[in-house]
Chains A and B, each alone.
Chain A
Amino acid sequence: MMLLIRELKIMLRSPAGAIQSLMFAVLVIALFPLAITPDPDQLEPLGIGLIWVVTLLSCLLAADKSLASDYADGSLEQMVLSDYPLWWVCLVKSMAHWVSCALPLLLMAPILGGMLAMPLDRIGWLMASLILGSPILSLFCILGAMLTVGLNQSSALLPILIAPFLVPTLILGTQWATTGGEAFYGYMLAALLCLSLVTLPFATAVVAKIAVSR
Chain B
Amino acid sequence: MWRWFHQWGSPKFFYHRSGVLIPVLALASGLILGAGVFWGLLIAPADYQQGESVRIMYVHVPAAILAQSSYAMMAVMALISLIWRLKIADAAVQTVAPIGACITLLALATGSLWGKPMWGTYWVWDARLTSTLILFFLFAGVLALRNAAGQSQTAGRAASVLAVIGLLNLPIIKYSVDWWFTLHQPASFTLTDRPAMPFSMWGPLLMMVVGFYAWFFLAWLIRLRHELVKRERRSDWVQQMMKQ
Contacts and interface: CB of A to CB of B under 8 A. Distances in A.
Q: Are chains A and B touching in the complex at the 8 Å CB cutoff?
A: yes
Interface of A: 143, 147-148, 151, 153, 157, 160-165, 167-168, 171-172, 175, 192, 203, 206-207, 210-211, 213-214
B179 to A, nearest CB: 7
Contacts of A157: 144-145, 148
A160 B147 CA distance: 13
Given A167-B176, A171-B176, A161 B162 contact: yes
24 contacts: A147-B161, A147-B162, A151-B148, A153-B148, A157-B144, A157-B145, A157-B148, A162-B141, A164-B134, A165-B166, A167-B134, A167-B173, A168-B169, A168-B173, A171-B177, A171-B179, A171-B180, A175-B179, A175-B180, A210-B157, A210-B158, A214-B149, A214-B152, A214-B154
B27 interface: no
B154 A172 contact: no
Contacts of A153: 148
The listed residue with most A CB atoms (<10 A of its CB), out of B140, B141, B173, B179, is B141
Nearest to A214: B154
Contact of A172 (B140, B144, B161, B176): B176
A165 B158 contact: no
Interface in B38-87: none
A56 to B, nearest CB: 14
Interface of B: 134, 137-138, 140-141, 144-145, 148-149, 152, 154, 157-158, 161-162, 165-166, 169, 172-173, 175-177, 179-180
Nearest to A169: B176
Contacts, number: 66
B137 A164 contact: yes
The A interface, classified by DSSP as helix, strand, loop or mixed, is: helix
A168 to B, nearest CB: 4
Contact of B137 (A163, A171, A175, A214): A163
Contacts of B166: 164-165
Determine which residue in B140, B161, B162, B165 has the highest number of CB atoms from chain A within 10 A of its CB, and name it: B165
Contacts of B176: 167-168, 171-172
B148 A211 contact: no
Report whether over half of chain B's contact residues are helix, strand or loop; otherwise say mixed.
helix
A165 B169 contact: yes
Nearest to B159: A147
Nearest to A211: B158
Contact of B161 (A151, A165, A192, A210): A210
Contacts of A206: 161
A214 B180 CA distance: 40
A52 to B, nearest CB: 13
Contacts of B154: 210-211, 213-214
For the complex of A and B, list the 9 residue pairs with the smallest distance between their C-beta atoms, beginning with the closest: A168-B176, A153-B148, A161-B141, A171-B176, A164-B137, A164-B134, A171-B180, A151-B148, A210-B157
B145 A168 contact: no
B173 A161 contact: no
A162 B180 CA distance: 20
A203 B137 CA distance: 20
Nearest to B142: A161
A147 B156 CA distance: 12
A210 B172 CA distance: 26
A160 B141 contact: yes
